[in-house]
Amino acid sequence: MLQPSGKRAKRRAALKESIRLGPLAASAKCAIPGCGRQTMKAAREGLAPFHCRRHVEHRQRHGSYWRPSFKASELRPFITAATAYVGLRAANDKFIAAAIADMGRVLEDAGPVEIATRLKGMSATKRAKIGLARLRVEGVPPQRIVSIVLAVAALIKADAKAPRAKEFRTVQICKAVHRLASGTHRVWVMEDHQGRKRQIEMHAFPKSTGRVLREMGRMLEEPCDWVIEKHVAGVLAHRQRYGRPRAAS
């Protein structure tokens, strides 16, 4: 049996690769400008047809292929404005009052708390509820959570470079709220054979990536849908009127 020539073998290999990639054969390189890496599908590392592993993992952590999460310094002035805005209207505005009440019920219905080292193997929904329960145990007021949700939505609207995809907002809401009560912290005092006391600390944090961020963010975002729609512009106006201008970088 005759063996195919070198050129024929290369064409055959290229045809097989084209068939493997399917209609997305042209997307052999990551779609993010300047990246240049192979897509996960082209590199046979996964099924992502347009992005490399690095940017797929970036999206899992931040909700965007390219935009990192907001820094606390970026979010702080918007939280200040939203907290003041919500505090002024919590008793009289029906949308804000309903969001606070619904958020309280979400925290109460979250169930028991579990320590961070025992979360492995649980579903994303279960782990998200444990995150909400941790907020309840730490005594985080529902009104504060509503203010943070509103602040994240306002920052995205004000930032011309922020992604407008709902996924990004959902993940950023989860990250901002989760900072209020993240992980499990334990302190023990032990005594050695000489009677000397030592303090031992344990700080365990759940992995901040994947479906858990989306599930917890969705649970925090849904009670505030009407507040986001009706009051983001008001928060921005409040910040512009009463907030201090940010220092030029």
Q: What six digits make up the tokens of 80?
A: 């200040």
| Higher-scoring residue by pLDDT: 40, 143 | 143
H or E stretch covering 186: strand 184-191
| Higher-scoring residue by pLDDT: 117, 240 | 240
Query: What pLDDT sits at residue 35?
Result: 92
Percent of the chain clearing pLDDT 90 (strictly above): 54
Rounded to a whole number of angstroms, the CA Rg of the chain reads: 24
Determine the average pLDDT of the residues in 139-166. Answer: 96
Neighbours of 56 (CB within 10 A): 18
Answer whether residue 12 shows pLDDT above 90: no
pLDDT tens digits, residue range 63-104?
999 999 999 999 999 999 999 999 999 999 999 999 999 999
C-alpha span between 169 and 233 (Å, rounded):
16
Contacts of 184 (CB under 8 A, 6+ apart): 115, 116, 117, 202, 203, 204
Query: What pLDDT sits at residue 249?
Result: 39
Neighbours of 180 (CB within 10 A): 14
Query: What pLDDT sits at residue 1?
Result: 46
pLDDT tens digits, residue range 175-188?
999 888 765 545 55
Q: Tell me the whole-structure pTM to 2 decimals.
A: 0.78
160: three-class secondary structure by DSSP:
coil
Query: What pLDDT sits at residue 248?
Result: 44
Query: What pLDDT sits at residue 209?
Result: 64
pLDDT tens digits, residue range 187-238?
556 766 667 777 665 544 556 567 889 999 999 999 999 999 999 999 999 9
Residue 212 · residue 124 · CB < 8 Å: yes
Give φ, ψ of 59 to 5 degrees.
Answer: -65, -40
**CA torsion through residues 171, 173, 176, 177, sign:** negative
Query: What pLDDT sits at residue 200?
Result: 62
Determine the average pLDDT of the residues in 124-143. Answer: 91
C-alpha span between 97 and 55 (Å, rounded):
39
Query: What pLDDT sits at residue 193?
Result: 66
What's the full length of the chain, in residues? 249
C-alpha span between 186 and 30 (Å, rounded):
43
C-alpha span between 109 and 112 (Å, rounded):
9
Query: What pLDDT sits at residue 122?
Result: 82
Q: What is the mean pLDDT of the chain?
A: 84
29: three-class secondary structure by DSSP:
strand
